[in-house]
């Protein structure tokens, strides 16, 4: 029996190596945070926190704005890292048309939130604004002309270290009106953000949403493709205007300023660019481990060839 086919197989070893190295990473490598709680966040109220922010100098005193969107800790861990590279949070925001503030300048007031993670009340991590299709200068337009924007906080204190990202989303009037919020502007802003993040072709129907309504879709930026699955959930915020900042203009005529729904977002990275990402190193690791069975088969065939030769 000729050993030529087996020699050919052996010679093809480098070819097999390179092919395997190009194999896409297995979904199992897309880690969730190891400590992510089953729901994807800890309820801030369990440890002295609140689903309302604290706004200073309101009348009457002590009003807050709703935290109406959560980016769940069950999302791919890369998305939960507060950075623009490696497909992180800022790149994800850019994928659905939201960017950091105009020319990096922080304008607008700070708000504090307590996520029940042991940090107590903290100012927002940053303010992120709708970029009107221009990631570089579009948020300057938002600052002047108004539009959709949000503040966000990361649940990362040692008492509730989920890594989930909590967003207080609202739609503001132009600067000349003192950045008041438009009528129904907490609920609508949430739903326009979700409409963009799930690439809906029609508006999310705010008045028809109930506990359990879902949406999903894909967005991309910088070579990363994100799959966002959203479920609206009640029971965290109250369906009310009581205690809500701008309650007189946002809620009116039977519409509560807050409808009581929080949009829970679960985000997966479907595609990463070929280079410059942590994913590619995972892919190489995976390729190496998946070569092991191939190696065993080749050695067995070679032994058989030598035995029968």
Ligand X SMILES: *[C@@H]1O[C@H](CO)[C@@H](O)[C@H](O)[C@H]1NC(C)=O
Residue ranges that bind ligand X, judged by CB under 6 A: 56, 110, 112, 121-123, 130, 147-148, 183, 192, 195-196, 200, 203-205, 207-209, 211-212, 233-235, 239, 252-253, 256, 259-261
Closest CA to 169 of 248, 261, 57: 261
Considering the complex, state which of residue 36 and residue 196 has its C-beta at the smaller distance from ligand X: 196
Q: Return the number of the residue (49 or 147) whose C-beta is nearest ligand X.
A: 147
Minimum distance of ligand X from residue 11's CB (angstroms): 55
76 or 259, CB closer to ligand X?
A: 259
Burial class, 259, CB count within 10 angstroms (exposed 0-12 / middle 13-18 / buried 19+): buried
Q: What is the rounded distance in angstroms from the CA atom of residue 25 to the CA atom of residue 85? A: 19
Residue 4 vs 158, nearer CB to ligand X: 158
Q: How far is the CB of 143 from ligand X (least distance, A)?
A: 14
- What's the closest the beta carbon of residue 123 comes to ligand X, in angstroms? 4
107-128: string of b/e by CB count within 10 Å (b at 16+)? eeeebbbbbbbbbeebebbbbb
In the complex, minimum distance from the CB of residue 6 to ligand X, in angstroms, rounded to a whole number: 58
Q: Which of 51, 259, 232 is nearest to 155 (CA)?
A: 51
User: For 168, which DSSP code?
Assistant: E
Taking the least distance from each CB to ligand X, the nearer of 121 and 216 is 121
Rg (CA), the chain: 25
Smallest gap from residue 141 Cβ to ligand X (A): 11
Residue whose Cβ sits closest to ligand X? 195
Of 54 and 272, the one with the shorter C-beta distance to ligand X is 54
* CB closer to ligand X out of 43 and 112: 112
Dig out the tokens for 138 from the structure.
Answer: 């579009």
* DSSP H or E stretch at residue 69: strand 69-71
Which residue's structure tokens are 């690791």? 285
CB burial string 20-39: b at 16+ within 10 A, e below = beeeebeeeebebbeebbee
Minimum CB–partner distance for residue 217 and ligand X (Å): 10
Q: Please, what is the minimum distance in Å from the beta carbon of residue 148 to ligand X? A: 4
């Amino acid at each position: 029996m000729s050993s030529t086919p087996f020699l050919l197989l052996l010679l093809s070893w480098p070819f097999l190596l390179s092919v395997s190295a190009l194999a896409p990473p297995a979904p199992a490598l897309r880690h969730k945070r190891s400590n992510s709680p089953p729901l994807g966040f800890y309820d801030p109220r369990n440890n002295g926190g609140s689903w309302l922010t604290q706004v200073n100098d309101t009348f009457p005193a002590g009003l807050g704005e709703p935290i109406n969107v959560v980016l769940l800790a069950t999302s791919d861990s890369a998305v939960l890292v507060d950075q623009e590279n490696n497909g992180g949070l800022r790149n994800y925001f850019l994928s659905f048309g939201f960017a950091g503030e105009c020319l990096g300048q922080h304008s607008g007031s700070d708000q504090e939130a307590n996520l029940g993670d042991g940090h107590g009340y903290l100012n927002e991590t940053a303010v992120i604004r709708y970029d009107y299709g221009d990631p570089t200068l579009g948020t300057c337009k938002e600052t002047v002309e108004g539009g959709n924007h949000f503040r966000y906080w990361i649940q990362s204190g040692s008492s509730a270290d989920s890594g989930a990202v909590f967003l207080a989303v609202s739609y503001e009037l132009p600067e000349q009106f003192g950045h008041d919020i438009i009528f129904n502007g907490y609920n609508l802003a949430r739903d326009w953000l979700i409409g963009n993040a799930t690439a809906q072709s029609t508006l999310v129907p705010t008045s028809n949403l109930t506990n359990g309504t879902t949406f999903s879709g894909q967005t991309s930026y910088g070579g990363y493709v994100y799959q966002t699955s959203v479920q609206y959930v009640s029971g965290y915020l109250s369906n009310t205007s009581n205690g809500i900042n701008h309650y007189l203009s946002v809620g009116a005529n039977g519409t509560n300023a807050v409808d009581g729904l929080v949009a829970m977002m679960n985000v997966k990275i479907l595609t990463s660019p070929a280079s410059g990402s942590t994913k590619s190193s995972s892919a190489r690791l995976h390729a190496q481990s998946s070569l092991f069975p191939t190696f065993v088969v080749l050695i067995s065939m070679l032994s058989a060839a030598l035995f029968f030769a």
